[in-house]
Amino acid sequence: MTSIQLIVFLPLLAAIIAGLGNKALGKLPAKLVTTGALFVSCALSWPIFLSYVAGDAGPMVVPVLHWLSSGSFEAAWELRVDALTAVMLVVVTSVSALVHLYSWGYMEEEPDQPRFFAYLSLFTFAMLMLVTANNLLQMFFGWEGVGLASYLLIGFWFRKPSASAAAIKAFVVNRVGDLGFMLGIFGTYLVFDTISIPDILAAAPGMAGSTIGFLGYRFDTMTVLCLLLFIGACGKSAQLGLHTWLPDAMEGPTPVSALIHAATMVTAGVFMVCRLSPMFETSETALAVVTYVGAATCLFAATVGTTQNDIKRVIAYSTCSQLGYMFFAAGVGAYGAAMFHLFTHAFFKALLFLGAGSVIHAMHHEQDMRYYGALRKEIPITFWAMTAGTLAITGVGIPGTLFGFAGFFSKDSIIESAYAAGGPGTFAFLIGVTAALLTSFYSWRLVFLTFFGKARWAGSEHIQHAVHDAHGHGDHHDHPDEEDSGHHDSPSHAHVSAPVIGTAGYHPHESPLVMLIPLIVLSIGAVAAGYVFHHAFIDAEGGAEFWAPSTLAFDAHLMHASHEVPLWVKWSPFAVMATGLVIAYLAYLRNTDWPAKFTAHFHVLYDFLLNKWYFDELYDMLFVKPAFAIGRFFWKRGDEGTIDRFGPNGMAALVVAGGRVTRRLQSGYLYTYALVMLLGLAAAVTWAITVS
C-alpha cells in the first residue's frame, strides 16, 4: 500500500474500529486508534507537500479499484495527487490530528467518546476522499460524506434540542446546494461525455462560446455548468443565501467547530472551484458571480460578527467572512491567493476555535463573553495563543517587508489581487478593505472582552443572565462592560444559566496539557505559515512553479500585477486593521459606556445586525412555514381526510357496519335460521327457473 493510500484509508479504518467497537472497545483504545491513525496520516502528508514546494514532485494517480461501468460511462476509484491535493492533505490531516488530540482533554467527561472519535475520523476520511478525487463522482462521494459526518457531529449531543435542530438545518440547507452540484455534474457529463476531471479540464477551453438548449432557450454552456457547480460550493462553503447553517453548527462540541470551520467541510467549495478553475476561466459571467457573491458574503458576515456575544458565534461568522475572501479571490482569477488564504486560515481559525474551547473549559462551559474579563492572568497560555490567532486573522504586518503574521500575507494578497484585476475586482477590493476593518474590530473586541477589563465572573452573588420569552422580551439585567439596551440574541436563543462562575471563590483554570499542545502548534502556524510559504503560493515565479503540477489555473501576470499596485493599496489593509484595533480598545477598555450609547442611538441597525440581517426569519416566512402548511394540508386533508377515510379507515368502517347487520341475523333461534334457509332455497330455485 502506497503512502497516499495510507493517508486516505487509515482514518476510515480507525473510524470503523472505534465505531463498531464503541463502548466494548473502551474510551482509551478508541482514542489511541483514531488519534494515532491521524498523526500517521499527517506525518505522511507533510513530506508530499514539501516535495511540491521544493519543485521535486509531479502529478500522479494511484488506482484503487474499478468502480462503475455502464455503456460509455466509466468511473474508476483513483487517488489524484498534485500540488493542489498536497495543500489540502496537510491542511486536513494536520488540523484533524490536533483536533483529535485536543478532544482528549475537552471531551474527557463525555461518556460516549468512542462514537465521537469515530465520527471525527469518518469526517476526515470523507474530506480526504474529496480532495484526492480524480473524477466528479468520487468528488461527490466525498462531498456527501462530509455532509453526513457534519450532521452526525453537529448533532452529537442529540438529546439537546438546539444541537439536533442545528444538525438538521445544516443537512437540509446543504441539500439545496447539493442539488445544484448534482445538476452541474450531470450537465458536465452530458457536454463532455466523461466525468474524469483531467479530461474535462483539457476539453473545457474548446467549449467556450458554445450554447446549450433548455426550455426553448439557448444559454452559454460553460456559464450554466459553472454556476450550477458554484451553487454546490455556496452550500458547502456557506456563501450568502446558503450560509444560515454555519453559525448554528457551533451547537456541536467545540472540537467539531474547529474541524468544520478550519479544515474540512467549509473549504470544500473553495477547493472545488480551484480544482475546476480552467472551467470557470471560460466564463466571465460565472467568475463575476463568484466575485460578487464572495464579496457580499465577506461583508455580511463581518457586520454580523460585530454584534455577537457568544464567543464561538463570533468566530463562526468570522469563518463565513474569510470564506468570502477566498471566493472573490477565485472570482478575480487569483486562485493561488485563494488557496493560500485557505491554507493560512486553517491554522489561525483552528487556533481561535480551540482557544475559545479552552476559555469555555476554564469558564465552566459559559460561552457569553459578557461574563468573562481579566482572564489573561488566569489562563495565560490560552491568552497568548488566541492573541497569536487574532494577530493572524486581522492581518498584522508591515507592508513592503516580510514581517507579518499568516493572515497578513494571504489576505493582503487577495485584496491587492482584486485591485489589480479591475472590473468586478474593484468592488471586491472596496468590500475586502471594509471587511478587514470590521474583522479587526470584532476580533479585538473578543480579546478585550475575554482577557482584559475587570473580572465579570467574580463576586459573591450569582451573575444573572437576561431571560427572554418567546417574543424576545423578559427581565432585563445590565451586562457589565458591554452594550445593552434590552437588545439581545434572537428569541430562539433563549439562554438562562447562572453557573458556578458567579460564585465566590471560583477561579478559572488553565486547560490540561493535552489541550494546550495543539494551541501551541497552531500558534506557530498562525505566526509563521505566511512568511514561510508565501513564495510558493503567490509569487509570480515561485507560484507558477509550485502550481504547475496541478489543475489550478495560476495567473502569473495577475500575481505580478498585484505586487505592483500603488502604495496606498498596500497600506489600506494595515490602516483599517489599526483603526479597528483602536476603536475596539477605546470602546471596551477606555470608554466602556460607548457600546451602550451606540446601541441605544442606533438600535434599529443594531437589531438588524444582531438578528443576522433577519435571514432566518425571512426563510422561516418564505420556506419553513409554507412547507409546514403544505405538509399539514396533505396530512389532514390528503392522508387522513382522503386516503385513510376511503382507504383503510373506510374499509374498516364498512366491515364494522356489515358486522352489525350480520350480527342481528345471528339470533340463536332455530325458526329464524329455517326461515333464512327457505328464503335462500326459494331464491335459488327462482334463479334456476329464470335462467333455464
Query: Which residues lie below 8 Å from residue 227, measured CB to CB, with a gap of 6+?
Result: 285, 286, 289
The dihedral through the CA atoms of 479, 484, 485, 490 has a sign that is negative
CA distance 384 to 115: 32
Of 442, 430, 453, 434, nearest to 375 by C-alpha is 453
pLDDT digits (tens, 9 = 90+) for 96-152: 999 999 999 888 888 888 999 999 999 999 999 999 999 999 999 999 999 999 999
How many Cβ atoms sit within 10 Å of the Cβ of residue 218?
A: 10
pLDDT of residue 341: 94
Name the residue type at position 78.
E
Q: How far is CA 323 from CA 133, 242, 538, 568, 612, in A?
A: 22, 13, 18, 25, 17
DSSP state letters, 659-672: HHHHHHH----HHH
Question: What band does 498 get if pLDDT is binned at 50, 70 and 90?
Answer: very low
439: amino acid identity, one letter = T
- Whose CA is closest to 308, among 368, 352, 223, 254? 368
Return the higher-pLDDT residue of 384 and 496. 384
Cell numbers found for residue 107: 471531551
User: Which residue has cell 334457509?
Assistant: 677
pLDDT at 448 > cutoff 60: yes
Of 390, 374, 503, which is closest to residue 439 (Cα–Cα)? 390
At residue 214, the pLDDT reads 75
Per-residue pLDDT band for 74 (boundaries 50, 70, 90) equals confident
Contact between residue 290 and residue 330 where contact means Cβ atoms under 8 Å apart: yes
Q: How far apart are CA 270 and CA 327, in angstroms?
A: 6
**For residue 255, what is its C-alpha cell?**
472540537
Q: How far is CA 528 from CA 351, 522, 524, in A?
A: 13, 10, 6
Phi, psi of 67 (to 5 degrees): -95, -70
* Residue 425 CA: distances (Å) to CA of 48, 59, 329, 414: 34, 31, 8, 10
Q: How far from the centroid of its chain's Cα atoms is residue 183's Cα? A: 21
- In the chain, the percentage of residues whose pLDDT exceeds 90 is 56
The three cell numbers of residue 219 are: 444559454
3-state DSSP of 378-400: CCHHHHHHHHHHHHHHCCCECCC
Where are the alpha helices (H) located in 107-160, listed in sequence order?
113-131, 136-154
Per-residue pLDDT band at 25 (split at 50, 70, 90): confident
82: region left, alpha or beta (phi > 0 left; psi from -120 to 50 alpha): beta
Residues 6+ apart with CB under 8 A from 337: 329, 410, 413, 414, 417, 537, 538, 559, 562
- In our burial notation (b when 16+ CB lie closer than 10 A, e otherwise), range 116-139 reads bbbbbbbbbbbbbbbbbbbbbbbb
Name the CA dihedral angle for 3, 118, 236, 180, rounded to a multiple of 10 degrees.
90
77 beta partners: 65
d(CA 399, CA 404): 8
Query: What band does 458 get if pLDDT is binned at 50, 70 and 90?
Result: low
Could you read off the pLDDT of 212-249 as tens digits, one per residue?
Answer: 887 788 999 999 999 999 999 999 988 988 888 888 88
Cα–Cα dist 230/181, whole Å: 7
Contacts of 291 (CB under 8 A, 6+ apart): 327, 328, 331, 332, 424, 425, 427, 428
Q: What is the mean pLDDT of residues 28-45?
A: 94
Which of 375, 382, 388 lies closest to 354, judged by CA? 382
pLDDT bin (cut points 50, 70, 90) of residue 504 is very low
Three-state DSSP class for residue 462: coil
Residue type, position 343, single letter? F
Q: What is the pLDDT of residues 592-609, one digit of tens each?
A: 889 888 989 999 999 999
- What are the CA-CA distances from residue 630 to residues 99, 169, 620 (Å)? 43, 19, 14
**Exposure string (b/e) for 151-186, b if CB count within 10 Å is 16 or more?**
bbbbbbbeeeeebeebbebbbebbebbbebbbbbbe
Question: Pick from 156, 140, 179: which is nearest to 275 by CA?
Answer: 140
**Residue that has been written with the C-alpha cell 511540491 in this structure:** 52
β-sheet bridge partners, residue 133:
79
Across the range 56-84, mean pLDDT stands at 88
Output the CA angle 310-311-317, nearest 5 degrees. Answer: 85
Residue 1 confidence (pLDDT): 65
For 59, other C-beta atoms within 10 Å of its C-beta total 16
Give the 3-state secondary structure of residue 211.
strand
Neighbours of 488 (CB within 10 A): 24
pLDDT band of 386, cuts 50, 70, 90: very high
- What band does 486 get if pLDDT is binned at 50, 70 and 90? very low
pLDDT above 90: residue 565: yes
pLDDT band at 204 (very low <50, low <70, confident <90, very high): very high
CA distance 5 to 60: 13
Distance in angstroms (rounded) separating the CA atoms of residues 300 and 307: 12
User: How far is C-alpha 268 from the geometric centre of its chain's CA atoms?
Assistant: 9
Tell me: the pLDDT tens digits for 332-348? 999 999 999 999 999 99
Which residues, listed in sequence order, are joined to residue 79 by a DSSP beta bridge? 62, 133
How far apart CA 181 and CA 140 sit, in angstroms, is 8
**664: pLDDT confidence band, cut at 50, 70 and 90?**
confident
Can you read off the three cell numbers belonging to residue 498? 447562572
- What is the residue-averaged pLDDT of the chain? 87
Render pLDDT for 273-330 as a digit per residue (tens, 0 to 9). Answer: 999 999 999 999 999 999 999 999 999 999 999 999 999 999 999 999 999 999 999 9
Share of the chain above pLDDT 70, in %: 92
Which DSSP letter does residue 207 get?
Answer: G
Grid coordinates representing 19 are 465505531
Residue 27 predicted with pLDDT over 70? yes
